[in-house]
Amino acid sequence: MSTLSPGQLPLAPLGAGDLIDRAVRLYRRHLLVLIRTAAPPVIIIAAGWILGSLSIRQVFTSDENADLLLYVLLSVLAVIIMLLGYLSILVVMGGATRTLVAHLLRNDPVTAHATYSAVRSRFWGLLMASLIVLGWILASSIAATSGGQMIAFIVFLGAAAIMNLSIWVGVALMIVGMLVSMAFTTWLFFFIVGRVAYVPQVMLVEGKGVIEAVGRSVSLARGNVRRLTAMTLFTTFATMSALMILSIAIGFFGELGGVNPLHPSEWPAWYAIAGSVLGPLSAILLTPVWMLGLSLLYVDERVRHEGYDIELMAARQLGEIPDINVSSPLGTALYSERKAPPPAPKASGSVLNLN
């Protein structure tokens, strides 16, 4: 596999477009490796989607209470499996960032083995951090949605009052209010959730504990809303485009087989399973772009705020600076789990250490 030398990937502050371009170029260069890296957690999500699709379909067609309870429990199990898959993505993201930094620092090859070896070294801590991040994401969604609804409600009251004077002005105000509400909801969500965007990365690159990594991520995430939003929207639209292409292909084969897409209860099992796999399949193809984007964004934040490019340059030329718990602009560029050698024995009164 061809590698990208540090000289070919210059470290500099990245704008939103540069961030996406850099992530896509790295994705193209390491396509198969990145797909293998992202595949295990996405396969877990796919298993949950398939189980949920089949169970929910049976919920609406079963007559026996015992069967109905079984399929409801299977649907709940499917949701749990999908949540575990999304947690796995957050866990693997930390290992992917460490692999990227090692590539920048020492030109180490980008491999799935290196990523999962880093994940195994701190699995339980990463799992706890991922639970915190997932809870933060849910809380951010609730807060952002509530803020957007409040703005929409205020605009709706104003538009209703203006409609007594002019219907067209009231309708126009309502449309503008909806757009403003959506924009505010999006901004508020990414403003809140961006505070914990770098928790797995901090743990595996800097060697921080869970709570310390959360505080470190909050301090790093300054002014990242626009770039984080752009990266998310790009990945979302790309995933939706891939999903649309795959859906058209499955719909075509369904039409050949006489499947009516408007009656889900009559779908054959192969069609329901194929429809459930489409989302995870498109995610397998594009999740690596998201992982690379967040990894590059973490590196970019440190370049902007801490001169991390100088640290990496110094480590390339001079070797790693020992991690001796000293706060310095030239601290350790990449955390190592190797223990420091034990201190030399203290000398006694004799030159030969003889009493």
**Residue at 194 is within a domain:** no
**Residue at 106 is within a domain:** yes
pTM tops 0.85: no
Distance CA 37, CA 256 (A): 35
Angle between helices 199-206 and 269-306 (to 10 degrees): 60
Number of domains in the chain: 1
pLDDT of residue 339: 46
Instruction: Give all strands (DSSP E) within 219-297, no chain letters.
Output: none
**Residue at 70 is within a domain:** yes
Instruction: Give all strands (DSSP E) within the chain, no chain letters.
Output: none
pLDDT of residue 310: 67
How does pLDDT run along the chain (355 residues), one tens digit per residue? Answer: 344 444 444 556 677 778 888 888 888 888 888 888 888 888 888 888 878 877 877 776 666 777 778 888 888 888 888 888 888 887 887 788 788 777 776 777 888 888 888 888 888 888 888 888 888 988 999 999 998 888 888 888 887 777 777 788 778 888 888 888 898 999 999 999 888 888 888 888 888 888 888 888 888 887 778 888 888 888 888 878 877 887 787 777 777 777 776 666 667 767 777 776 777 777 777 778 877 888 888 878 877 777 766 666 666 666 555 555 544 444 456 666 554 444 444 444 443 333 4
**Residue at 169 is within a domain:** no
**Residue at 322 is within a domain:** no
Domain that holds residue 114: 9-129+222-317
pLDDT of residue 336: 67
Q: Judge residue 34's burial from the number of C-beta atoms within 10 Å of its C-beta, 0-12 exposed, 13-18 middle, 19 or more buried.
A: buried
The neighbour count for residue 330, using CB atoms within 10 Å, is: 13
pLDDT of residue 320: 55
Distance CA 55, CA 68 (A): 9
Q: Residues 6 or more apart from 77 whose CB is under 8 A from it? A: 51
**Residue at 48 is within a domain:** yes
**Residue at 336 is within a domain:** no
Cα angle: 104, vertex 224, 115; to 5 degrees:
35
**Residue at 250 is within a domain:** yes
pLDDT of residue 175: 85
